[in-house]
Each structure stands twice: as structure tokens, then as C-alpha cells.
Chain A
């Protein structure tokens, strides 16, 4: 299959293919981070995670049309405003949902799965009623489109680099918040021992609410970033949810590092396979491999060995 091509060509493709894998990796990390926080730290299965992402995407779309209409001079930088707004919108909705629904279900993880599925149906229909059934296109400022000509034959998409940079930034921010800030210590204290944490004066309800809000807010940012590469429609969120859960579970639920490692291995496997076979088969084989590995190692890649 590659006999006809020069070595230089192949090298360039290899580099670009590696980069394609990295973009996929960033996408997975962005999707999974919020979920990893909610699932890993709180044990809640949020099936509406995709819908929180789409909310971020719609917020981005609204920002872009508003800015285009009222403040065109702001357009080149609107994306940063949009991401902030997406974070706030998804995060607040998340906190509302936590207050109304999730907090009643902390002892029934499987039930959170079912209830949030109901929520996802409602959100989908809400988007359809508000924004219409059609997909909306988000217009990007010119500097974000196109590609960077690394060498004669290697082109790296700018939006891909943007997503990667964003992923790194958010990962660092999340690690900081969870592992170094005092709030993060409270979160981890609550995760480890809710009763004790309450006894030493941590407002566990508040911690829960903000943790859930943070996870959803990150989903909002992810959705905002996805408008650069994917589509924004009422049901687009559903496409991501299974992949996202697999990334989190495969990584070992309670470990952020695991999530990143699993996103990396899954994305590299998939993008490599995609190069040698059709997209459909690549997906099937990737999923099958994950399921097979999970059957052999149910705790995921990174899990602490603890006494039960």
C-alpha cells in the first residue's frame, strides 16, 4: 500500500498522523476530565454529561452571533469570552441539577445513571425547542482556521493546536484545584470520609455542589472547544457519552492521571488503526480491545491497591 510513496512523504504523513492522534487525545481528555471528576470523586454517573457539553457549544454559538452582530471588533477574541460563558452556564446548570436531583441519590450510583439519562432526554428536547432541530454552525475567527506549515509537506491544523493547548491548560488548572488548593483538599476529604469531613467542619453539601458544578463547567468548555472540530446539534452529546465513559473507566475511575493515560492509549490506538482500515472497523476494534482489557483488569489502568 505504501510502495508508491517517497520516504519523505511517508515521514510527513507519519508526523501528521501522530498529530491527528494527539488531537483525538486532547478531545478525549477534555471530554473525560469533567466526567472523571464527577464519577471519580463523587461516584455519580452523569449520563447527561454530553448534554452539558452541548450547552457549552450552544453558548459559544450564541456568543459568536451576538458578537458578530453587536461588536464585530471583538470577533477575533470572542472565543475566550465564549468559553468563560460556557463554563459559567454549564457549571450553574450543573449546580442546579445537583441541588434538585443528584444530592438525593448519593447512595444509589446506578440510580444516578438512570435519573441523569432522563435529564439528558429533557435537555435534548429543550435544545431542540429553543435552538431548532438543525445543527448550528459556529463561525470561527480567521486566525483559528487553516494550518501551520511546519515543513513543505507537514501541515498542522491551528484549531488542533488550540485544542491541545486548551487541554493542557485545563488539565493543569484542574490538578491544581483538586490537589493543591484548600478546596481540593476538602473535596478529597469528603470523598474519603464524608462523615468525618462533615465532623471537622467541612460543608459537605457545598463541596458536593461545587464539585459537580466544576465537572459540568469543564464539560461546557469542552463543548465550546468542540465547535471548532465537530457539530452542534441537540443530539450531538449522545455521540460522545459512551466513549467518554470508557475513557474514564479504562483509566481507573479515581485517578486523573489514569484518565489521561487511558485517553492517550485509546486515541493512539484508534488513530493508528484508522490509518490501516476503515473508520468503522477501527472503532469496533478499539472498543473491543478496551472491553477485553477491562474484563481482565476491571479496576482500569491506574487503580490504587487498597484493602477492601
Chain B
């Protein structure tokens, strides 16, 4: 019987455990807080990556606007922190004390209505989930109900990212403009800038990340996960099996948006500010790159991809700033041309069979079948 009722199969379990060991033990023990904070920053992109695995790898919906949701989540969190940082005592120097500094510079004399809910942390947490979720729902419903897909969807999401960037930059009295929302300090009086806080935030983030991994894995293992795969291949067949394809696409897109938003909110906490440069087209496509490098069909691949590409980016740009773009561009072409299923594909095709051959007496073929049940075959 092929039906695998276990939550993880063997190779996934290995992936899960080794990732947990890496993130909970190895990295915190071996890195100083500066590097650990960098890892935390990289991992915020892994949230986006996990969402992209669901929506792009499984559902075949390529969104080039994930930065929009990352940014919305990040901005929600930043608005809360900014309000807390803008107490009357901190902003005595302004003409209107008690409002964020950039509002004061733009002659606003009161906090605008849509900022008000962000005085409350519970509402903020809610907004981080709800705002991107609703936004994704509206975009998704409008497009998928009318069967806009593939390339067109990609281009339209890109345009949305461009629109939102121009809006945020243009409405600087309400959004902080191109500088973004900066100088965030405390969360309920707890200084998030200290090393100690960064250390704790790192673990909070990793726990959330594993939450997302498990949620994504859950979705993948339900029938919904299989319908996503089915939809990617034979949309009509799914439709004529009695499913509303649009609804499933909307679901995948919303889920990806919410994951991205959680990542964005964590980004704000880890880095200490949010700016429109994470909303635009370039960051959105870079997030797709991370996922593609890790393997668009693999949840763990997305995490490793985000870590590795960003790690390479930091290393390369420290030592060969000129070469970084050549490296990134080349990497991307190589992945697309030669390894469409990314690192996880290389692992499943080359490394895993060897390990299996070494470790067990089972036939390699059987092992391959099992692991590919989990990872799925690459999209053609």
C-alpha cells in the first residue's frame, strides 16, 4: 500500500530533524549574535519561500508580487512599533508631540484613522494576518474567477507591486515615504534592539517558521495538496471532477500571502524598520529566486534556499561586491536551465539514492519511489 499516513516520510523526517537541529542548536551555538541576527533576517524570506512552494511549486501560480504581502505584514508590525516609539516623551522636539516623526515633518497633526488600530498589539497581530489575507483574496478572486493565470498573473502581480511601491513612496505623510518606518525601539517596553532581545526574537522566529512548515506540510498532505498538483497539470480535469479551480487557487494564494506577511512582520522585528524597498518588483523576484534555488517543490528546500542564497549574497558582497550580481544572475539561470527542481531536486536525484544504497539493503528504486512520493516530481 503506498498510502503513507505518517506526517513525514523518512526523507522528510530527516529534513525536518536536521533543519531543527541546525536552527535550534548549531547556528545559535556557533554564531555570534551579529551573524545570528543575519540568519534571522534570511529566515524571514523563508516564510515567503514556503508560501511560494505551495502556490507556485504545487499550485503552479507564479506570483511576482509576494513582496506586497511581505511588506504589508512588515508595515503592520512597524506601525505598531512606531506608535509605541512615538510617545509624547520621545517626541518632545516635534511641533506635534506624540505622533510619528515623519507625520510631524509632513504637517500632520494627528495620527490618521487607519493607524489607530495599531495602538493595540492584539489588533496588530490580527491585522498582520487579515490585511494581506484580504488583499490576496481580492486579487485572487478577481483574477482566478476570470481564469487569469500563468504569465498574465505574474505580470499583473508585478504591476501591483509597482503600484503599491509608488503609493507608499508618494504618501509619505501616512507611510514614511521612501525612508520607510524607521527607528523602532520597543515592544511593550521591551527593547528589541539589544543583543538579548535579538537572541530571543531569533527563537521566536524559528518557532514560527516551524509552525509554518508544519502548516504547509499539513496542507500538502491533505487532499487539497493533491488537488493543487492536479490543478497545475490538468486544470480542466479538476474542474470536471467537480472542483472550483478558482477557489483552490485563491486559497493557495492567500495562504502564501499570509506566510509572507508573517515573514514580513518578523523582518520588521529583526531588522528594526520597514521600507518600500521590500515591496517592489526586485525583492519580489528575489524571493522567487530563493525558492527556485531551494527547490520549488520542497518546503525544506525553500528554507535552505533562502538561507544559502542570502548567505552567499552577504559573503560575496563583502568580498567581491562587483561579482555578486553575476553570481546571482548566473545561479538563477543555472537553476532554471539545469536544475528546475533546485537543491532539493539535486538531493533527491543524486544524494538521496546514494545514501539509501549505503544505508539500507533495499533496492534504490524503491527508495526513490518513496522519496518522490513526498517531494513530487518536478514540473515540466
Contact = CB atoms under 8 A, between A and B. Distances in A.
A–B: direct contact at CB < 8 Å: yes
A118 B163 contact: no
A45 interface: yes
Contacts of A118: 289, 328-333, 336
A110 to B, nearest CB: 5
Q: How large is the interface on A (under 10, 10 to 19, 20 to 34, 35 or more residues)?
A: 35 or more
A107 B380 CA distance: 8
Interface string A281-308: 1011001101100111010000000000
Nearest to A116: B333
Interface in A147-169: none
Interface stretch (B28-36, B115-123, B141-149, B206-214): B141-149
A226 interface: no
Contacts of B74: none
A246 interface: yes
Interface residues of B, number: 43
A189 interface: no
A197 B163 CA distance: 42
Nearest to B328: A121
Interface stretch (B94-102, B127-135, B152-160, B264-272): B152-160
A290 B324 CA distance: 35
A101 B323 CA distance: 21
Interface in A66-112: 101, 104-105, 107-111
A204 B38 CA distance: 49
Contacts of B150: 109-110
Interface in A259-297: 278, 280-281, 283-284, 287-288, 290-291, 294-296
B334 to A, nearest CB: 8
Interface stretch (B78-86, B164-172, B215-223): B164-172
B285 interface: yes
A125 B325 contact: yes
A284 B161 CA distance: 11
B288 interface: yes
B148 A294 contact: yes
A242 B281 contact: yes
B336 A291 contact: no
B322 interface: yes
Select the residue from B62, B159, B167 with max chain A CB neighbours within 10 A. B159
B374 interface: no
A129 interface: yes
A182 to B, nearest CB: 30
Contact of A121 (B160, B322, B332): B332
Contacts of B292: 114
A298 B64 CA distance: 17
B163 A291 contact: yes
Nearest to A285: B163
Interface string A113-151: 111011111101110110000000000000000000000
Given A105-B337, A281-B170, A288-B163, A296 B329 contact: no
Interface string B336-347: 110010000000
Given A121-B329, A121-B332, A287-B162, A298 B148 contact: yes
A120 B167 contact: no
Given A109-B150, A114-B289, A294-B156, A104 B337 contact: yes
B350 interface: no
Contact of A122 (B155, B159, B166, B326): B326
B325 A115 contact: no
B151 interface: yes
A120 B62 CA distance: 19
A126 B156 CA distance: 29
A22 interface: no
A16 to B, nearest CB: 26
A218 interface: no
B156 to A, nearest CB: 6
B333 A295 contact: no
Contacts of B154: 45, 110, 113
B120 to A, nearest CB: 30
A290 B64 CA distance: 17
Counting chain B CB atoms within 10 Å of each CB, which of A101, A118, A291, A298 scores highest?
A: A118
A111 B325 contact: no
Residue from the set A104, A109, A126, A284 with the largest chain B CB neighbour count within 10 Å: A284
Given A110-B150, A129-B322, A242 B162 contact: yes
Given A113-B154, A114-B292, A122 B329 contact: yes
24 contacts: A45-B151, A101-B333, A109-B151, A110-B62, A110-B150, A113-B154, A114-B292, A118-B329, A119-B329, A120-B329, A122-B326, A122-B330, A125-B325, A125-B326, A238-B281, A242-B158, A245-B158, A245-B159, A246-B155, A280-B170, A284-B163, A287-B166, A294-B152, A295-B146
Please provide the 10 A-B residue pairs with the shortest distance between their CB atoms, ordered closest to farther: A118-B332, A121-B329, A122-B329, A125-B325, A280-B170, A298-B148, A118-B333, A115-B336, A118-B329, A295-B142
Given A114-B292, A298-B152, 18 more contacts: A105-B336, A110-B62, A111-B340, A113-B151, A113-B154, A115-B337, A117-B285, A118-B331, A118-B332, A121-B329, A122-B325, A122-B329, A125-B322, A246-B159, A291-B156, A291-B163, A294-B156, A295-B143
